[in-house]
Amino acid sequence: MEQELIQIFIQFNIDTSFREFKTFNSGHINDTFLIYTDSSTSYVLQKINGNVFKNSVDLIQNKVAIANHLLQKGCKSLEFIPTKEGKMYIEDAKANYWCLSKYIENSQTFLQVESNDIAYQAGVATGNFLANTTDFNGNLIEILPNFHSISWRFEQFKQSLTTTSQIRKEKAQEWINFVFNHIEEMIVLDHALNNNEIPLRITHNDTKISNILFDQNKNAICLIDLDTVMKGCIHFDYGDAIRTICSTAPEDEMDLEKVNFNFNYFKHYSSGFFKFLKGKLTSKEIHLLPHSPKIMTFIMGLRFLTDYLNDNIYYKVKYPNHNLDRAINQFTLVTKIKKVQLEINNEIFRSKNLLLHR
């Protein structure tokens, strides 16, 4: 492994040598490594999963463009390094694509939120990203079409039911039923998008807590993992962030008693997020916001369940039922979110005048 990483690393335009590496384990798709060098600067080297991303070059171009846009505006973001040939990626002998960025020193990530302040800071990071990408007028390629489309994910799920094994179906039956019983109420966002009732903006599309970088004082620095930056609605980023930020357990926790929704974190996250969206939202956008935490949590459960039924072809898994456990966890969280839906509605509508576009 080390030899392979060295071979890739030396092709980038860096005037220092590779010392050692560490593997980051939290991503479900790509392989990411921290490279220590002989200088005080370390780097993040990433191999894009060509199985998931058929257009890795476009993906890398997207992330470099967005990161550069943010940096030019004086915002913090990732700094990508070109190769010695001036390209932003390396293609290896197996047609895998690699990219390199500077490691932001003294940064940290969290797998779970541990205080109201961190929840608030996470809101600041995601709100800031949305607010500062609205004026991006470069070209963004749609990397994974229909990524957060629930109707498309539902079609994929139904397709998996026709090809999965009987045994998998039996094991997952309760949760397959859960999907059919809930799909109707989860489709509202899709309808609004399809009818052009809400605007498209530039969204990150993977705002889970581990994709937010913090400094040593636990202040947010920026969003990382820009792989899925595409056009989308704010509900994607708001709801998906709340999915992990307000859950009291990791997304694959099997002890369901531990899976709860932390309403205080929700309030703090929202106040950080809303700070950047004052006077920027339409009334339809605000109206749909309270639905997004349950919808985005449901869509992740649906995708995990579909991948379980497909025999784990998409996400990395640590054991055969890992995706089923993830799905059960997410659907349990959906139920917990629904229990406080009224409180969520009230909290958001309290901010309505602040957010409404004038």
Backbone angles phi, psi at 151, to 5 degrees: -65, -35
User: Could you give the string, one character per residue 211-230, with x where binding to ligand GN1 holds by CB under 6 A and - elsewhere?
Assistant: --------------x-xx--
Contact 125, 222 (CB under 8 A): yes
Q: How far is CA 188 from the centre of its chain?
A: 21
User: Taking CB under 6 A as the rule, does residue 206 contact ligand GN1?
Assistant: yes
Query: Which residue from 12, 18, 28, 121 is in contact with ligand GN1, where contact means CB under 6 A?
Result: 28
User: Could you give the string, one character per residue 183-222, with x where binding to Mg ion holds by CB under 5 A and - elsewhere?
Assistant: -----------------------x----------------
- Nearest residue to ligand GN1 by CB is 29
Element (H, E) at 247: none
User: Taking CB under 6 A as the rule, does residue 57 contact ligand GN1?
Assistant: no
User: Taking CB under 5 A as the rule, does residue 225 contact Mg ion?
Assistant: yes
SS3 for 105? Answer: coil
Buried-state track 18-36, b at ≥16 Cβ within 10 A, e below 16: beebeeeeebbbbbbbebe
CB of 283 to ligand GN1, least distance (A): 28
Note the helical H segments in the chain.
Answer: 2-9, 56-72, 116-133, 150-163, 166-186, 188-194, 234-245, 263-274, 283-288, 292-309, 322-339, 341-350, 352-355
User: Taking CB under 6 A as the rule, does residue 252 contact ligand GN1?
Assistant: no
User: Taking CB under 6 A as the rule, does residue 29 contact ligand GN1?
Assistant: yes
Query: Which residue from 27, 50, 82, 199 is in contact with ligand GN1, where contact means CB under 6 A?
Result: 27
User: Taking CB under 6 A as the rule, does residue 246 contact ligand GN1?
Assistant: no
Count of positions on this chain that bind ligand GN1 (CB under 6 A): 11
User: Could you give the string, one character per residue 163-202, with x where binding to ligand GN1 holds by CB under 6 A and - elsewhere?
Assistant: ----------------------------------------
Contact 95, 245 (CB under 8 A): no
300 binds, among ligand GN1, Mg ion, none (CB under 5 to 8 A by kind): ligand GN1
Q: How far is CA 232 from the centre of its chain?
A: 13
Measured over the CA atoms of residue 349, residue 350, residue 355 and residue 358, the dihedral's sign is positive
Contact 232, 148 (CB under 8 A): yes
Cα angle 259, 158, 249 (rounded to 5 degrees) comes to 10
Query: Which residue from 168, 208, 268, 336 is in contact with ligand GN1, where contact means CB under 6 A?
Result: 208
Count of positions on this chain that bind Mg ion (CB under 5 A): 2
- Nearest residue to Mg ion by CB is 206
CB of 301 to Mg ion, least distance (A): 17
Quick one: which segment of 23-31, 95-103, 108-116, 169-177 binds ligand GN1 (CB under 6 A)?
Answer: 23-31
Structure tokens belonging to residue 266? 């929700």
Residue 307's identity, in one-letter code, is: D
Closer to ligand GN1 by CB, 18 or 97: give it: 97
- Chain residues in the site for ligand GN1 (CB under 6 A): 27-29, 52, 206, 208, 225, 227-228, 251, 300
